[in-house]
Amino acid sequence: MKKKLPVIGEELVTRFSNGELVSWTEMINDKTGIILDIFMLESGNREFPAAKVYVMGDDKQTEILLSNLINLSRHKD
């Protein structure tokens, strides 16, 4: 039986969905992509919400923590 680990940033899961357009900064470059999958990433006896993202313009996929993403698909009214 696997021990349940504490989740850091669990509320971020409700802010993102598959297929949404997101942006983030990688080193000094701004990147844009589309969320392909959302999952929990285990690190240091904790879990963090993360996403597999298709990086537009680079034609590759990467994994990034949801806390580093800005959701471009949802607009505030």
Q: What is the tens place of the pLDDT at every residue in 4-48? A: 776 777 778 888 999 999 999 988 999 999 999 999 988 888 889
Domain count, the chain: 1
Instruction: Provide the terminal-to-terminal Cα distance of the chain, rounded to the nearest Å.
Output: 45
In a domain, 17, yes or no: yes
pTM comes to: 0.83
How many angstroms separate the CA atoms of 18 and 25, rounded? Answer: 20
Cα 38 from Cα 63, distance rounded (Å): 9
Range of the domain at 18: 10-71
**pLDDT one-digit tens code per residue, 37-48:** 999 988 888 889
Would you say residue 4 lies in a domain? no
Q: Judge whether 59 lies within some domain.
A: yes
**Which pLDDT score is estimated for 77?**
47
Does residue 1 lie within any of the structural domains? Answer: no
Asked if residue 2 is part of any domain, the answer here is no
Q: Indicate left, alpha or beta for 36 from its phi (over 0: left) and psi (-120 to 50: alpha).
A: alpha
